[in-house]
Copies of this chain bind each other. A is one copy, B any other.
Amino acid sequence: MLPFNKLVNTKLFLFFTISLFISFSSIAQRAVDYVNPFIGTSNFGATNPGAIAPRGMVSVSPFNVAGKQNKHEKDSRWLSNPYVHENEFLTGFSHVNLSGVGCPDLGVIISMPTVGELEIDHLKYGTTYKDEIAKAGYYSTTLDKSNINVETTATTRTGVSRYTFPAGKANILLNLGLGLTNEQGAMIKVVSPTEIEGIRTVGGFCYYKPEETYPVYFVAQVNVESDEFGVWKKTRKESGVEAEWMGYNGKDRFYKNYYKEVMGDSIGGYFSYNFDKPTKVELKVGVSYVSIENARENLERETSNLTFLEIYHKTELEWNDLLSKISVEGGTKDDKTVFYTALYHTLIHPNTLNDYNGEYPKMSTRETLKTNGTRYTVFSLWDTYRNLHSLMSLVYPEQQLNMVNSMLDIYDESGWLPKWELNATETTTMVGDPAGIVLADTYLRGIRNFDIEKAYEAMVKSADQINNNPLRPGLKNYIEKGYLTSSDAGSVSTTQEYNISDFAIAQLAQVLGKKKDEERFRERSISYRNLFDKDYKLLRPKNNDGTWYSPFDPLAGANFTKNVGFIEGNSWQYSFMVSHDADYLIRLMGGKRAFTSQLQEVFDKGHFDMANEPDIAYPYLFNYVKGEEWRTQNMVNALRRSYFKNAPDGLPGNDDTGTMSAWIIYTMMGIYPVSPADPMYTLTTPVFDKITIELNPKFYKGRVLVIEKEGTGNINEVLLNGEEHKSYFINHFELVNGFRLKFLLE
């Protein structure tokens, strides 16, 4: 038996050997090399280039949204991301961040290396920067003011930075005042000349529930002992007679070499150095939503004894493993970059909430619970039910199973399924009741080893409980009249969302043999028909008395302006959002020709919004009309080319925690899950010549799913396992049973 140290070294040696082997044998060929984390960091994509591990609790993102020097400044406008590509003034690196969300939150525990005398005003220590590099699990830049090179990487729960300081005085700041969130309040305590621990308040996402703020705990360790350390505090200015005695009134306080807790609205800690030569310092920040002890355990279990580079290589391998579940051939380098970056973006949220030891905070009360699997968080379900979760079911079914179980845990803990869950708080952002759609969709795609009876019970509860129902406001009108009325918020949109949720219940009831429920919910799922105004061939709000809401402007509500009847969209952008009843919608619209013409008008007249969810399936709806499928292929390709690029503005808008990314992944593979809770895909021309998805044998019969194309134009013929497939729709199980899908193009 080898002594433990030897064992570790041997393992590391093997690790590096393999790592180097992969690097040399497959330069620029690994999936991970195609990730460009800058995609989505402009044009309000709201992603960030910070280093993160797959579904990490922690990321280390450059923070460049504070200070009027920046074009997009966090306090001067609505801004929900810690980084904007065209901004130029950087004030640190935030350790907990959201990617592709619409409201500001987190963006705290901000570290910053500086040189010279200690300066704690971020507007003064902030700097321009250059030579940015971002990869999966890695970010680097050089700060102009100090000439410090900063590199960051991360494990699931620990952010790791490497600062290369010039000789001279140097400082590492941990600013707990600054943050993307508007929440204030922190505690900080120096544990030793190499360790600081603390707590920062976050929460209040979208400003809906100020009472749902909560602490994030951290432990920060440096690998070079500081010559000085301390804490600072920005104080409120006191007035009154005694204030005149306080020479320091309202001024910053400094506590040098001080080991006790400091609390306040705006505080921070620092390590200071006096380097006689250029020196690298590694900073590790372990995070937890349970306790400081857990943050420390997370850090130690995930990173102790490992250097920055070892950690980065480990995280990079994890990324490559996951991304390589899909391999592609053909297409340009940019195509591959767009594709793998999108896949990377779908692997950020939902992210890990539980600590290394399994502990996580219970919904709302935040009591400590324990999970055996992974407790996921950040369920932005109004977005992700449309495509992201079915993609996870297809490519990462183990993860999707864990997500479903997390949703059921949330039901157990709070009595309700999640709507927009964030770090164990229910933000109740957006409309509809999307969780059940994901549960049904997952089950119907063959991922069945979860408690489906509990899932069903939870879905029916939110569908039927009229009073005190946080998920379905307006349910009374919906059940009695079949629709919400103009006095309800977003009455048409919400009716449509409830229809889709009820369709999901019906679909599930069918396979569970619950006939009565199936009938009841199938009936409920088409009640949007009551809101179809034949004169406009569009959906239109109705008043309480059943009359049409007037005046009605089908264009009102675009670009996120407020509108009666619709949420984040107008009637054009919502009226076709009934894929589960597409055939009937075609009849309502006056038949196939009229439907096609009406749908084409959405695009021709510029009503279509690629940047928001209600209409993102629209380009696929031409497939419902035999002979018009070319329009889908043309439209999808046009949209792909104009909105998805290998560039910071390479997303059409907010990534919505990976929903836009899931759209482009499916689209580039030639399949799209056009009707959630219906386990099928509709087809379009794939971008790549060959796509191979490695299927998980625990869930699927097939070893791999292969999609190929021959030719370059529109689809001429589709072959399934070599046999002609006449439909533009294909069942999920035909794909995951190992059949080969081949597109013969013109």
Interface residues of A (CB under 8 A from B): 74-79, 104, 182, 184-187, 199, 201, 207, 210-211, 213-215, 233, 235-236, 238-243, 245-248, 253-265, 267, 361, 365-367
> Can you offer 12 A-B residue contacts whose CB atoms are under 8 A?
A75-B243, A104-B242, A182-B238, A184-B236, A210-B248, A211-B253, A211-B254, A213-B262, A215-B262, A235-B265, A260-B366, A264-B265
Q: Tell me which of A77, A257, A262 has the highest count of chain B C-beta atoms within 10 A of its own C-beta.
A: A262
Q: What residues of B have a CB within 8 angstroms of the CB of A246 in the complex? A: 182, 207, 210
Interface of A is mostly: loop
In the assembled complex, the CB of A98 is this many whole angstroms from the nearest CB of chain B, namely 15
Evaluate contact between A260 and B182: CB separation under 8 angstroms.
no
Evaluate contact between B242 and A182: CB separation under 8 angstroms.
yes
Q: What residues of B have a CB within 8 angstroms of the CB of A367 in the complex? A: 259
Rounded to whole angstroms, the CA-CA distance of A104 and B367 in the bound complex is 39
Evaluate contact between A201 and B262: CB separation under 8 angstroms.
yes
Take A104-B242, A242-B75, A242-B104 as given contacts and tell me if A185 and B215 are in contact as well, using a CB distance cutoff of 8 Å.
Answer: no
8 smallest beta-carbon distances between A and B, as pairs: A75-B240, A185-B264, A185-B263, A210-B248, A263-B263, A207-B245, A265-B265, A187-B263
Rounded to whole angstroms, the CA-CA distance of A79 and B245 in the bound complex is 12
Evaluate contact between B263 and A186: CB separation under 8 angstroms.
yes
Evaluate contact between B365 and A182: CB separation under 8 angstroms.
no
In the assembled complex, the CB of A212 is this many whole angstroms from the nearest CB of chain B, namely 9
Rounded to whole angstroms, the CA-CA distance of A260 and B236 in the bound complex is 24
Evaluate contact between A259 and B76: CB separation under 8 angstroms.
no
Q: Which of B75, B213, B236, B258 contacts A236 (CB 8 A)?
A: B236
Evaluate contact between B207 and A241: CB separation under 8 angstroms.
no
Q: What residues of B have a CB within 8 angstroms of the CB of A213 in the complex? A: 253, 255, 262
Q: Which of B187, B214, B233, B253 contacts A187 (CB 8 A)?
A: B187
Q: What residues of B have a CB within 8 angstroms of the CB of A265 in the complex? A: 235-236, 264-265
Rounded to whole angstroms, the CA-CA distance of A145 and B262 in the bound complex is 36
Evaluate contact between B76 and A240: CB separation under 8 angstroms.
yes
Q: What residues of B have a CB within 8 angstroms of the CB of A255 in the complex? A: 211, 213
Evaluate contact between B184 and A235: CB separation under 8 angstroms.
yes
Q: What residues of B have a CB within 8 angstroms of the CB of A262 in the complex? A: 185, 201, 213, 215
Rounded to whole angstroms, the CA-CA distance of A185 and B254 in the bound complex is 14
Evaluate contact between B185 and A241: CB separation under 8 angstroms.
no
Evaluate contact between B264 and A263: CB separation under 8 angstroms.
yes
Rounded to whole angstroms, the CA-CA distance of A184 and B245 in the bound complex is 16
Evaluate contact between B75 and A263: CB separation under 8 angstroms.
no
Rounded to whole angstroms, the CA-CA distance of A263 and B215 in the bound complex is 9
Evaluate contact between B75 and A239: CB separation under 8 angstroms.
yes
Q: What residues of B have a CB within 8 angstroms of the CB of A239 in the complex? A: 75
Q: Which residue of B lies closest to A232 (CB)?
A: B211
Q: Which residue of B lies closest to A206 (CB)?
A: B245
In the assembled complex, the CB of A216 is this many whole angstroms from the nearest CB of chain B, namely 10
Evaluate contact between B263 and A207: CB separation under 8 angstroms.
no
In the assembled complex, the CB of A84 is this many whole angstroms from the nearest CB of chain B, namely 15
In the assembled complex, the CB of A161 is this many whole angstroms from the nearest CB of chain B, namely 25
Rounded to whole angstroms, the CA-CA distance of A241 and B361 in the bound complex is 32
Evaluate contact between B184 and A261: CB separation under 8 angstroms.
no
Q: What residues of B have a CB within 8 angstroms of the CB of A242 in the complex? A: 74-75, 77-79, 104, 182, 207
Q: Which of B77, B79, B215, B257 contacts A261 (CB 8 A)?
A: B215
In the assembled complex, the CB of A108 is this many whole angstroms from the nearest CB of chain B, namely 12
Evaluate contact between B184 and A259: CB separation under 8 angstroms.
no
